[in-house]
Amino acid sequence: MDKIFDIAIVGGGIVGAATAYKLQTAYPEIKILLLEKEDHFAPHQTGNNSGVIHSGMYYTPGSKKAVNCVNGRKELVQFAKEHNVAHDVCGKVVVATEEKELQFMEKIYTNGLANKIEGIEKITGNQVKEIEPFVESIGGLWVPCTGIIDFVGVTTKLIEIVKGINPESELLTGHKVTSFERDGDHRNIVTSKGKFKAKQMIFCGGLQADRLAKQDKVALKEKVVGFRGDYYDLTEQGKEKVRNLIYPVPNPEFPFLGVHFTRMTNGEIECGPNAVFTFKREGYGKTDFSLRDTVDALSYSGTWKLFFNNTKFAIDEYRRAFSKKLFLQTLQRMIPSLTMDDIKPGRAGVRAQLLGTGGETRDDFRIEYTQDSIHVLNAPSPAATACLAIGGDIKEMAEKHFGLVLR
């Protein structure tokens, strides 16, 4: 008789892994199937972000992002301590360089207080320099509970724990899911390397979330649009100008945090990312192109409305993507002494953003139960920080709809 898994999870990024972990630790007896299409876990958004443990101060009080980021951050740090995952709660500064930014900084500070961010405080430009000596600012915020972490290391550990709890569970790479039709009381799942059966399914598809949802007959009006973010690395001589994490006051009109400085757990220091429309959802090169992804995005009204609503921002981002000099000028707003010799081209990442038909970004996390499956439809930053809280939410949703009972 063919093995029938209790739950199949599609997507082996940190949210998929955290979901498997939450379910398996609560229900050791259930058989979980986790399928990742690439040849390793955490291949896309998880493995190509800036590695920051976000505090939760930016997000609307009471929103899923705010609640899950704060709770998830605390759980993530505890997990990293218990399992020796590389991390450092080093704190960060958010700095204002122009008078017009002060009102936005005040709003962030108020949000931080409402979200109960531990230790957040307003500081002067001189106090900023005590923390980051090369930064020139007119004031800032000190956020001591922000940190850095190896998110790939977290994902690997989550997978390892699930495997150790139930040897009947299978967590597989190189398995691209092509179909998952319902057949009586289970699904017949076909992948690029084999066939499986599972009673229920959870989709954590990230950059492919909307396509998986539509394939599962979910009535989804929005589409996922990809934004590539390019990074520069500080050279050896440039590294002395950054100690930990330095962020600008974000532009409230655009859904990204702006170019920032991040010390990584391996000791490197990155600057970035920018945010440009990408012609390939999983393309990390400036000229990467996918006809399907491009047609999909440019045939969608929401994409064009986003462009029209943010024309100047989009043009500036594209110019900066192809100009080291312009990228440097952005960095010099916070650290004027940086030179061309202090930075060198680094890696890139792609972010999945669920976009409404009017060009509005779906800002909050969005997880829905539909028919007989669960779909993570929108999980942009800070989803990696919040992964364990998101996994907990999905577990509760599975308990409600899949009939799981603690024994």
pLDDT for 405 equals 65
Per-residue pLDDT reduced to its tens digit, 21-69? 999 999 999 999 999 999 999 999 999 999 999 999 999 999 999 999 9
106 is written with which tokens?
């005040």
Is the N-terminal amide bond of 382 cis, ω within 30° of 0? Answer: yes
Mean pLDDT taken over the chain: 95
At residue 84, does pLDDT exceed 90? yes
Predicted confidence band of residue 255 (pLDDT cuts 50, 70, 90): low
Q: Is domain 223-361 in CATH 3.30.9, yes or no?
A: yes
DSSP 8-class letter at 37 = S
From the list 19, 42, 15, the residue with the least C-alpha distance to 30 is 19
The owner of tokens 């122009």 is 98
pLDDT at 403: 86
- For 383-406, what is each residue's pLDDT tens digit? 999 999 999 999 999 999 998 865
**Token pair of 118, please?**
């531990």
How large is the average pLDDT for residues 240-263?
88
Report pLDDT digits (tens) over 130-155. Answer: 999 999 999 999 999 999 999 999 99
Structure tokens at 363: 């800002």
Q: What percent of the chain has pLDDT over 90?
A: 89
Report the DSSP beta bridge partners of residue 189.
180, 196
State residue 295's pLDDT score: 96
DSSP letters, 129-186, are HHHSTT---SEEEEETT-EEE-HHHHHHHHHHHHHHH-TT-EEESS--EEEEEEETTE
Q: What is the mean pLDDT of residues 165-187?
A: 96
Q: Is the pLDDT of residue 1 over 50?
A: no
- This prediction has a pTM of 0.96
Please name which of 249, 257, 247, 268 lies closest in space to residue 347, comparing C-alpha atoms.
Answer: 268
Boundaries of every domain in the chain: 4-46+152-221+363-402, 92-144, 223-361
Whether 150 contacts 265, CB under 8 Å: yes
For residue 355, the model assigns a pLDDT of: 93
How many residues are present in the chain? Answer: 407
Domain 4-46+152-221+363-402 fold is FAD/NAD(P)-binding domain (3.50.50)
